[in-house]
């Protein structure tokens, strides 16, 4: 299977990049006339590759966005967060500077996202002008896919930067410079676009083009529409700097929850996706099968020489070995408290949180402040990564479990916990496949009220999606960002000092290499484990299980954020774009 980023970019000549003034005055023609390109499915198809190319550029999703959007939360943190004044840490600790050297370049994610939007705008205009969308299903599907890809980019622009300029038409000399738009304008356009896209796209496996998770399907368009509806109906820091709900009646919470409910139920009732075993989900991802109709709904496709998923978010290999030709992994890691948030019978724990790294081809325990996301593993791949700079693993953008939990959340809000319970129960049953009684008891507890069920959803999404970079956006829309970070600070301090619920945890872990000469066996990670038992097991080694080191100048919990998170829920627009905006862009919403 080779990925669509390798397709010839038929529309490269049509692309107009906003940083090039000359391009704005040039005719929007390529060597092939638009009327030919957008009336011919085989040619129009190339526009999709052009948009995806913008996703995979060095400093786009592949670069800093996937690594640093979503960090730090109560589930995920930057590995080097205790060096609070580094440029990487400042992208994470809610004290981001406008001239941040990691992002303040004219070719970073902001620029590449708008490049992708311009390519999408050109293609959408061409298809609507020259394509017989009503009578040509192939052209209709291409339009549906491009509308959805544009919605992906706008969704991530809003997540990263809050209110951003709205560009839904190709750039002209009159629209070269645009100020920030109220995000409500963008949300309403995207919700309408995705509603249209869903009418044009097939379900997974209903056509040749939707047999791969690298291609957009009706299910993904509907799932993305549900996700955007929940964001539009939720809280956020607005243009005036305040945190509030939308005042637009078209985006009322009831209307947005209704959209989310209906879209999620359409997907569930279609029967075109399914929950896999939890470990199977991520083995399927790492094995790069690309098959649609399982749990993955859509993935950002990277070629083998592009993309940094395991490279930054995977289990670390400190040396090269038989599994990988690059010694990488672990730029971002789980918040240390997450290891203890899971019930020890929850099968998600040992997939999501890995307490070891690989050295010389052998698993070696890490430390409490540096466990790893186990969803991304070189050792689960069917090929050995040979690039020293990229791993080529796709980014799993949305999976069916998200749809199921969004359904539970929306139905609880509209109809109450009894109606919502079956959907949360689906996820709990997968998490506890060997203890139905525990699931039944839990469901009886959390369905006692709408509030208790909502709190259960907040917790469940943390357990289900650790390492998938969904948490920050969730916390913002629930108005729980600072609340959950403050709770995490208290838990981190108690965990390090073995206080509160962590009081009886062992101070050490005890371990040995198993007979296979590769995997490690560790004692001391569970509630109920004790140092006394650990010392009696005859393991070959032990080590202190702690977050601190003698060189630390700041504690883990104090480094989680250095500025009130609610004063900077989003990144500032970088200085390079402020300077080139002819005075139309600023960061006054963040007080910068």
pLDDT digits (tens, 9 = 90+) for 93-111: 999 999 999 999 999 999 9
Q: Is residue 343 part of a domain?
A: no
H-type helices in 523-587, by residue range? 531-536, 556-559, 575-579
Structure confidence at residue 550 (pLDDT): 65
Pairing of strands 541-544, 296-300: unpaired
Position 12 confidence tier, pLDDT thresholds 50, 70, 90: very low
Structure confidence at residue 548 (pLDDT): 84
198-222 confidence digits (pLDDT tens): 999 999 999 999 999 999 999 999 9
Residue 9 has pLDDT above 60, yes or no: no
- Could you list the beta-strand ranges (E) of 478-591: 508-513, 520-523, 541-544
Residue 227 has pLDDT above 90, yes or no: yes
Q: Is residue 19 part of a domain?
A: yes
Structure confidence at residue 587 (pLDDT): 97
Q: How far apart are CA 98 and CA 482, in angstroms?
A: 22
Annotate 304-339 with b (16+ C-beta within 10 A) or e (fewer).
bebbbbbbbbbbbbeebbebbbbebbbbbbbbbbbb
Residue 281 has φ and ψ, to the nearest 5°, of: -55, -50
Instruction: Show the 3-state SS of 360-388.
Output: CCEEEECECCECEECCCCHHHCCCCECCC
447-462 confidence digits (pLDDT tens): 999 999 999 999 999 9
Q: How far apart are CA 543 and CA 61, in angstroms?
A: 38
Q: Which domain holds residue 115?
A: 4-72+85-261
Q: How far apart are CA 197 and CA 373, in angstroms?
A: 34
Position 544 confidence tier, pLDDT thresholds 50, 70, 90: very high
Q: Is residue 457 part of a domain?
A: no
Query: Per DSSP, what are the bridge partners of residue 508?
Result: 544
Annotate 496-533 with b (16+ C-beta within 10 A) or e (fewer).
beeeeebeebbebbbbebeeeeeebebbbbeeebebee
Query: Structural domain tally of the chain?
Result: 1
40-68 confidence digits (pLDDT tens): 999 999 999 999 999 999 999 998 899 99
248-288 confidence digits (pLDDT tens): 999 999 999 999 999 999 999 999 999 999 999 999 999 99
pTM over 0.85: yes
H-type helices in 309-415, by residue range? 310-313, 349-352, 400-415
CA distances from 266 to 276, 376, 410 (A): 19, 30, 13
Query: Per DSSP, what are the bridge partners of residue 353?
Result: 373
Position 553 confidence tier, pLDDT thresholds 50, 70, 90: confident
Q: How far apart are CA 402 and CA 424, in angstroms?
A: 11
Asked if 523 and 551 count as a contact pair (C-beta separation under 8 A), the reply is no
Structure confidence at residue 22 (pLDDT): 32
Neighbours of 551 (CB within 10 A): 6
Q: Is residue 468 part of a domain?
A: no
Residue 27 has pLDDT above 90, yes or no: no
Cis peptide before 72 (omega within 30 of 0): yes
Pairing of strands 353-354, 541-544: unpaired
Q: How far apart are CA 265 and CA 72, in angstroms?
A: 32
Check the CA dihedral 247-253-259-260 and report its sign. Answer: positive
Residue 82 has pLDDT above 70, yes or no: yes
**Residue 80: CA count within 13 A, CB half-sphere:** 13
Residue 491 has pLDDT above 50, yes or no: yes
Q: How far apart are CA 53 and CA 104, in angstroms?
A: 21
- Mean pLDDT across the chain, nearest whole number? 93
Residue 11 has pLDDT above 90, yes or no: no
Asked if 180 and 585 count as a contact pair (C-beta separation under 8 A), the reply is yes
Neighbours of 482 (CB within 10 A): 17
Encoding tokens for residue 579? 């300077």
Residue 3 has pLDDT above 80, yes or no: no
Q: Is residue 397 part of a domain?
A: no
Q: How large is the angle between the packed helices 137-161 and 109-130, nearest 10 degrees?
A: 150
Query: For the domain that residue 187 is a member of, what is the CATH number?
Result: 1.25.40.390
Residue 558 has pLDDT above 50, yes or no: yes
Residue 138 has pLDDT above 80, yes or no: yes
- Least Cα distance to 355 among 221, 196, 482, 519 occurs for 519
Q: Is residue 496 part of a domain?
A: no
Structure confidence at residue 552 (pLDDT): 77
What is the arithmetic mean of pLDDT over 367-388? Answer: 96
- Among 26-40, 41-55, 483-497, 542-556, the least confident range: 26-40
Q: Measure CA 529 to chain center.
A: 34
Q: How far apart are CA 282 and CA 372, in angstroms?
A: 14
What is the arithmetic mean of pLDDT over 2-27? Answer: 37
Q: Is residue 391 part of a domain?
A: no
Q: Is residue 469 part of a domain?
A: no
Position 14 confidence tier, pLDDT thresholds 50, 70, 90: very low
Q: How far apart are CA 14 and CA 445, in angstroms?
A: 58
Position 28 confidence tier, pLDDT thresholds 50, 70, 90: very low
Q: What is the dihedral of CA 149, 150, 152, 154, to 10 degrees?
A: 170
Q: Measure CA 52 to chain center.
A: 17
Q: How far apart are CA 14 and CA 22, in angstroms?
A: 14
Structure confidence at residue 305 (pLDDT): 84
Over pLDDT 90: what percentage of the chain?
92
3-state secondary structure of 2: coil
């Amino acid at each position: 299977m080779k990925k669509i980023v390798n397709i010839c970019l038929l529309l490269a000549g049509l692309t107009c990049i906003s940083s090039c003034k000359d391009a704005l005055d040039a005719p929007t023609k390529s060597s092939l006339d638009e009327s030919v390109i957008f009336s011919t499915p085989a040619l129009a198809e190339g526009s999709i590759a052009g948009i995806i190319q913008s996703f995979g550029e060095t400093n786009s999703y592949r670069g800093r966005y996937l690594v640093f959007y979503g960090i730090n939360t109560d589930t995920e943190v930057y590995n080097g967060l205790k060096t609070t004044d580094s440029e990487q840490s400042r992208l994470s600790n809610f004290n981001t500077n406008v001239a941040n050297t990691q992002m303040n370049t004219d070719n970073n994610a902001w620029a590449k996202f708008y490049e992708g939007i311009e390519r999408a705008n050109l293609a959408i205009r061409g298809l609507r002008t020259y394509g017989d969308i009503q009578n040509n299903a192939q052209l209709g599907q291409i339009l549906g896919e491009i509308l959805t890809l544009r919605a992906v980019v706008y969704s991530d622009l809003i997540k990263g930067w809050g209110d951003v300029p709205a560009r839904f038409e190709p750039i002209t000399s009159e629209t070269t410079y645009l100020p920030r738009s109220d995000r409500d304008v963008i949300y309403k356009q995207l919700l309408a676009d995705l509603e249209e896209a869903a009418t044009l796209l097939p379900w997974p496996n209903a056509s040749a083009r939707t047999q791969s998770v690298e291609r957009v399907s009706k299910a993904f368009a509907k799932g993305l529409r549900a996700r955007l509806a929940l964001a539009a109906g939720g809280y956020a820091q607005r243009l005036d700097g305040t945190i509030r709900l939308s005042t637009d009646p078209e985006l009322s919470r009831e209307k947005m929850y209704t959209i989310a409910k209906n879209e999620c139920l359409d997907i569930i009732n279609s029967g075109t996706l399914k929950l896999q075993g939890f470990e199977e989900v991520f083995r399927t991802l790492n094995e790069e099968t690309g098959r649609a109709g399982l749990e993955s709904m859509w993935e950002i496709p990277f070629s083998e020489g592009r993309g940094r998923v395991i490279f930054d978010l995977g289990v670390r290999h400190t040396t090269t070995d038989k599994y990988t030709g690059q010694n990488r992994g672990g730029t971002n890691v789980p918040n240390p408290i997450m290891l203890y948030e899971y019930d020890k019978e929850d099968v998600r724990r040992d997939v999501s949180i890995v307490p070891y790294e690989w050295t010389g081809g052998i698993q070696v325990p890490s430390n409490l402040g540096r466990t790893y996301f186990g969803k991304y593993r070189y050792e689960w791949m069917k090929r050995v990564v040979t690039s020293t700079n990229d791993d080529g693993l796709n980014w799993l953008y949305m999976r069916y479990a998200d749809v199921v939990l969004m359904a539970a959340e929306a139905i609880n809000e509209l109809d109450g916990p009894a109606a919502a319970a079956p959907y949360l129960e689906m996820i709990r049953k997968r998490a506890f496949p060997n203890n139905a009684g525990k699931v039944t008891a839990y469901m009886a507890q959390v369905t006692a009220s709408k509030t208790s069920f909502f709190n259960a959803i907040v917790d469940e999404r943390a357990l289900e999606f650790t390492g998938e970079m969904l948490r920050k956006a969730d916390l913002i829309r629930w108005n729980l960002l600072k609340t959950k970070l403050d709770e995490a600070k208290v838990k981190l301090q108690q965990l390090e000092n073995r206080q509160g619920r962590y009081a009886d945890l062992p101070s050490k872990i005890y371990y040995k290499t198993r007979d296979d000469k590769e995997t490690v066996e560790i004692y001391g990670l569970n509630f109920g484990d004790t140092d006394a038992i650990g010392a009696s097991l005859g393991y070959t080694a032990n080590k202190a299980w702690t977050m601190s080191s003698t060189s630390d100048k700041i504690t883990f919990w104090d480094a989680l954020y250095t500025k009130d998170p609610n004063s900077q829920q989003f990144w500032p627009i970088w200085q390079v774009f402020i300077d080139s905006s002819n005075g139309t862009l600023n960061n006054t919403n963040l007080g910068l």
